Amino acid sequence: MIRFFKRKTELEFLQVKYNKLLRQAMETGRVNRSEGDRILAEANVLLQRIEELEDAEMRSSD
Residue 5 within any structural domain of the chain? no
Task: For residue 39, count CB atoms less than 10 angstroms from its CB and return exposed for 0-12, middle for 13-18, buried for 19 or more.
Answer: buried
Which residues are within 8 A (CB) of 39 and not within 5 positions of it... i.e. 6 or more apart? 21, 24, 25, 28, 29
Number of domains in the chain: 1
pLDDT of 14 higher than 90: yes
Q: What span, in angstroms and rounded, lies between the C-alpha atoms of 62 and 56?
A: 10
Structure confidence at residue 7 as a pLDDT band (50, 70, 90): confident
The pLDDT confidence band at residue 6, using thresholds 50, 70 and 90, is: confident
Q: Is the residue at 32 inside a domain?
A: yes
pLDDT of residue 19: 97
pTM: 0.83
For residue 30, is it within any domain? Answer: yes
